Amino acid sequence: MTIANGGELPARLEGKFSAMVVCWVLGLGSLVSWNSMLTIGDYYYNLFPDYHPSRVLTLVYQPFALGTMAILAYNESKIDTRRRNLIGYLLFFASTFLLVVLDLVTSGRGGIGPYIGICVLVGAFGVADAHVQGGMVGDLAFMLPEFIQSFLAGLAASGALTSGLRLITKAAFEKASDGLRKGAMLFLGISTFIELVCVVLYAYFFPKLPIVKYFRSKAASEGSKTVKADLAAAGIQTREDQGDEDNVKQNDRLSNKQLLLENIDYALDLYLIYVLTLSIFPGFLFENTGEHKLGSWYPLVLIAAYNVWDLISRYLPLVKFLKIESRKGLMIAILSRFLLIPAFYFTAKYGDQGWMILLVSFLGITNGHLTVCVLTAAPKGYKGPEQNALGNLLVLFLLAGIFSGVALDWLWLIGKKWNLHKEPIPVSWERPEIGWTKLNFDGSCKGRACKGSIGGVFRNHKAEFLLGYAEPIGRTNSVIAELAALRRGLDLVLENGYTNVWLESDAKTLVDIIVQKRQVKNAELGRHLHHINLIIPEINNCIVTHIYREGNRAADKLAQIGHQLQKPQIWWHIPPNEVLRIMHEDAEVEGFLVSLL
């Protein structure tokens, strides 16, 4: 058994590279669960469209993180760092796992109950974040600057990893009826595994690395009480007479107040970095950037651009001439970032998607680069216990900046009545894949009597007409007419033995009801939905998607024809001439430009 003792840094200590890799993984685990929540924001917007989930969940997360961090920073010198970090990673693991359980129990349905449950678990994320980020930064502050840089790079890597996976899962599951949910479950499953890996690495591997044992022994010799449990886990015991020495040395160290006053510029640096970043990311990117050619991919591409450049920029300070070490230079660079606010405003209002992607990338570059510069420069010149305390104080200001930025992010909603510039979107009917049959359907209501009719058209991968139908359905409303059109179409699917079916409608509300399996109170709606939900599982493969009206013209025309009929009619092989003309246009032209203003 070794006795802790400080001393000069040996010429060579084993385990530096291994320690950097572990720090990177631990940084990854510190944010991967939360970044997964942010990256699958489109899934939660689909489940809870009226609750602003990206903004609300972030606002729930931050008070728990900031409040817990304030308590931990105040009591930093009395808290066992090992227990603190393990509690944080275990809480991340448990909360992420419970998110999966909650989704499975509720079968991926929306509603206020599941939303509140998610908010509770997000609050637990905030508590875990305060334990881990402050504990790890404080712990690494008295080691090598490369360790903090690796940990911060891991934090950014969590965002880049989740963004990359989100783009892959969106491409893989986009046409699946529950594609968003499958992607979300994959994300949360991966995050749960990573958190478990972090628990094992921190508990059993990291403390035993020679270079880590050296720096923790050195911190203990300088009076730090927070490292004793980690030293014990590595097989190192402090001397029995060291307790009195620690008390003397603890009294010799600068107080938290003195440390803060000496480093108030660094603390403000971190506060201002994250006030700006979180006032834009991610809420503004999800809700205030308008609609462009990338469609539903647009916010995902923006978030991916931010995360990738944030990760790359955290390695830039390793290049000596790129590292900003001047305290005055750091403050000037950080204050200059606030010019991004008007830049984002005018780009959202007048610019196209290319300029927005460029701007978001610059936001990521400056965020990562300046964060590493501040956190690696500030602890220099202090003793181990002081470096630990300063690391906690800096993380407290960082979290305060995040909380303030999240709160200020809501101000963008006040200006959401802007006439945001939105590029016209090309809309056209899309052919199914080989082996698939596509049904476009539509319902129509006319006049004060609300006389309804329905219509639909089946086509194959060559855009060839298979069959069409139309019929009057009497007095109704538009939603029931759409459901009746789908119900009739599904009956024909079964009658004709179609096994791979793509259902498409221009009624967004209807598509959401079916895809999200929403409950409805209207009895007639309920009867139609019950029938539809019985048929869809009988089909081998079935997807349901929304298309703008310009891409659903053939079905719309058949629904209009239905008003002229006295009884149901089916067309085999040859449609009505006016429908045939539209089908030729669907098969040949690129589409219509639809303005979403």
d(CA 12, CA 503): 66
Angle between helices 145-173 and 179-200 (to 10 degrees): 160
HSE at residue 330, side-chain half, CA atoms within 13 A, is 29
d(CA 281, CA 303): 8
pLDDT score of 283 = 58
User: Would you tell me how many other CB atoms lie within 10 Å of the CB of residue 430?
Assistant: 14
Residue 60's pLDDT band (boundaries 50, 70, 90)?
confident
Per-residue pLDDT tens over the stretch 275-286: 988 888 765 655
Residue 341 falls in which region: left (phi positive, over 0), alpha (psi -120 to 50) or beta: alpha
In this prediction the pTM is: 0.65
Two tokens, residue 578 = 């006016």
pLDDT score of 258 = 92
Two tokens, residue 338 = 């606030």
β-sheet bridge partners, residue 453: 444, 472
- DSSP 8-class letter at 517: T
Domains, in order of start, for the chain: 14-414 (1.20.1250.20), 426-594 (3.30.420.10)
Nearest to 215 by CA among 392, 369, 379: 379
Residue 337's pLDDT band (boundaries 50, 70, 90)?
very high
Helix/strand/coil for 411 = helix
Contact 569, 471 (CB under 8 A): yes
Concatenating the DSSP letter of every residue in 230-288 gives HHHHTTEE--TTHHHHHHHHHHHSPPHHHHHHHTHHHHHHHHHHHHHHHHHTTHHHHHS
Mean pLDDT value of segment 549-567 = 92
User: Would you tell me how many other CB atoms lie within 10 Å of the CB of residue 519?
Assistant: 11
Q: Cβ contacts of residue 192 below 8 Å, gap of 6+?
A: 33, 93, 96, 97, 100
d(CA 339, CA 324): 20
pLDDT score of 176 = 59
Of 45 and 117, the one with more pLDDT: 117
- DSSP 8-class letter at 435: T
Nearest to 188 by CA among 22, 39, 52, 23: 39
Of 93 and 318, the one with more pLDDT: 93
d(CA 329, CA 315): 19
Per-residue pLDDT tens over the stretch 442-482: 999 887 767 899 999 999 999 999 999 999 998 888 888 99
pLDDT score of 104 = 87
Per-residue pLDDT tens over the stretch 356-381: 889 889 999 999 999 999 999 988 88
Residue 164's pLDDT band (boundaries 50, 70, 90)?
confident
Share of the chain above pLDDT 70, in %: 86
Share of the chain above pLDDT 90, in %: 39
CA-based end-to-end distance of the chain: 72
Per-residue pLDDT tens over the stretch 417-440: 444 444 555 678 889 999 999 999
d(CA 545, CA 543): 7
Nearest to 127 by CA among 197, 41, 63, 200: 63
Of 46-50, 109-113, 420-424, 565-569, minimum mean pLDDT range: 420-424
Burial track 570-594 (b if 16+ CB lie within 10 A, e otherwise): ebeeebeeebbebbeebeeeebbee
d(CA 194, CA 96): 10
d(CA 206, CA 26): 10
Contact 376, 316 (CB under 8 A): no
Residue 269 has φ and ψ, to the nearest 5°, of -55, -50
**Average of per-residue pLDDT values in the chain:** 83
pLDDT higher than threshold 90 for residue 228: no
Two tokens, residue 244 = 């009195």
pLDDT score of 273 = 94
User: Would you tell me how many other CB atoms lie within 10 Å of the CB of residue 56?
Assistant: 19
Of 244-253, 424-433, 470-479, 556-565, minimum mean pLDDT range: 244-253
Contact 149, 314 (CB under 8 A): yes
Give the residue ranges of DSSP H helices in 295-383.
Answer: 298-313, 327-336, 340-350, 353-377
Concatenating the DSSP letter of every residue in 2-68 gives EEP---PPPS--TTHHHHHHHHHHHHHHHHHHHHHHHHTHHHHHHH-TTS-HHHHHHHHHHHHHHHH
